[in-house]
């Protein structure tokens, strides 16, 4: 416990020191409009330096693509890839002239397919498009002269200490803004998201006992669920609820046994509607397992279905938090 505290403390000090010389956290003021190159950002602990803004960028999967589009970078993009969920309606106009890297929704495009686009920058994430098995990694791309920025939440896949707050997503938006010289826009977007989330949180201050939640991402023998560092947990925490597995030092838990779930008896179950398995199918599976019948959330059918992009780090995070709050406290959001 003590060690953990000291570590957290030193981490905080380090972060604030770093913040002093790089971007500041908290409410950023849009003072400097353009980045001055060279710009250096951290991607999974590695410093990446840009001498100028990339001109031929690729983005992988819906949430990264939306960050690019929200920053108005469609002119700098030569391709994008989604694993099944199209970008939100508000970005459709921007995305319509950008070619899809591959219409195949899974597995992600191979290295060759990526290189055909002659990119100078790739924005992706581990276990989205990057994986050691497929051979598509930031190192492999760097060897061909392509720079990468990796979604911070996914850096846990390469052993980085993750964060328990929503800050890493803001950091990603700000870093992409700096890389492309549109930092002012990035700061504006981050501030808007912060405000929206704060507005939601201000309505739920009077919740006494946090509701116990369980994130269910499929599985019948065991459950795919979320630990401390997963977005699903961060979202529950943000709206004053708690994940029954919120203390487990992990991001995603691929095979949780049912015994603990039954014992901890969640009051609601958060389910995402994914391209590869619908929420409807997931609820059907839950209700077909007789051993789960005693669970409060299942008896009361308190399933909170969120669209997949809502539980990903990205531009829809604030909408996800709002949707979760509305579903949990309908009386507070008339």
x/- string (CB under 8 A) for other proteins, residues 17-56? ----------------------------------------
Q: Output the smallest distance, CB 48 to other proteins, in A.
A: 27
Is residue 106 a contact point for other proteins (CB under 8 A)?
yes
Does 112 sit near other proteins (CB under 8 A)? no
Does residue 173 interact with other proteins by CB under 8 A? no
Select from 193-201, 289-297, 316-324, 326-334 the region that touches other proteins (CB under 8 A).
289-297
Each residue 72-101 as x (binds other proteins by CB under 8 A) or -, in order, gives: -----------xx-----------------
Residue 48 or 136 having the CB closest to other proteins: 136
Q: Token pair of 100, please?
A: 């899809």
Nearest-angstrom CA–CA distance, 146 and 108? 18
Q: Is 290 in the site for other proteins (CB under 8 A)?
A: yes
Q: Point out which span in 28-36, 118-126, 166-174, 260-268 binds other proteins (CB under 8 A).
A: 260-268
- Report if residue 5 touches other proteins, rule: CB under 8 A: no
For other proteins, which is the closer residue by CB, 187 or 248?
Answer: 248
Q: Which residues bind other proteins (CB under 8 A)?
A: 83-84, 104-107, 217-222, 224-225, 227, 245, 247-250, 253-263, 265, 274, 276-277, 285, 288-295
């Amino acid at each position: 416990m003590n060690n953990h505290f000291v570590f957290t403390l030193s981490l905080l000090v380090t972060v604030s020191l770093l913040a002093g010389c790089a971007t500041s956290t908290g409410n950023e003021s849009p003072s400097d409009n353009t980045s001055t190159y060279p710009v250096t950002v951290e991607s999974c602990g590695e410093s990446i330096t840009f001498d100028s803004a990339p001109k031929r960028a690729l983005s992988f999967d819906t949430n990264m693509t939306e960050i690019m589009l929200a920053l108005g970078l469609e002119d700098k993009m030569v391709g994008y890839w989604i694993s099944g969920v199209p970008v939100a309606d508000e970005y459709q106009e921007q995305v319509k002239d950008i070619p899809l890297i591959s219409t195949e929704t899974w597995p992600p495009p191979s290295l060759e397919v990526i290189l055909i686009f002659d990119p100078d920058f790739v924005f992706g994430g581990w276990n989205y498009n990057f994986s050691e098995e497929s051979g598509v990694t930031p190192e492999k791309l760097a060897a061909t002269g392509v720079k990468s920025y990796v979604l911070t939440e996914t850096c846990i896949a390469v052993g980085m200490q993750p964060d328990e707050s929503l800050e890493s997503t803001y950091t990603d938006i700000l870093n992409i803004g700096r890389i492309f010289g549109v930092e002012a826009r990035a700061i504006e977007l981050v501030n808007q998201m912060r405000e929206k989330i704060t507005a939601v949180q201000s309505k739920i201050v009077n919740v006494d006992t946090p509701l116990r939640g369980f994130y269910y991402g499929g599985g019948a023998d065991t459950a795919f669920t979320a630990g401390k560092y997963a977005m699903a947990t961060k979202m529950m925490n943000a709206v004053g609820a708690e994940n029954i597995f919120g203390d487990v030092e992990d991001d995603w838990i691929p095979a949780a046994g049912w015994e603990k779930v039954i014992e901890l008896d969640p009051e609601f179950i958060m389910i995402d509607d994914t391209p590869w398995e619908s929420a409807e199918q997931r609820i059907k599976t839950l209700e077909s397992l007789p051993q789960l019948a005693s669970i409060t959330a299942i008896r009361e059918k308190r399933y909170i279905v969120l669209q997949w992009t809502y539980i990903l780090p990205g531009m829809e995070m604030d909408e996800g938090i709002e949707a979760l709050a509305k579903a949990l406290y309908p009386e507070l959001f008339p």
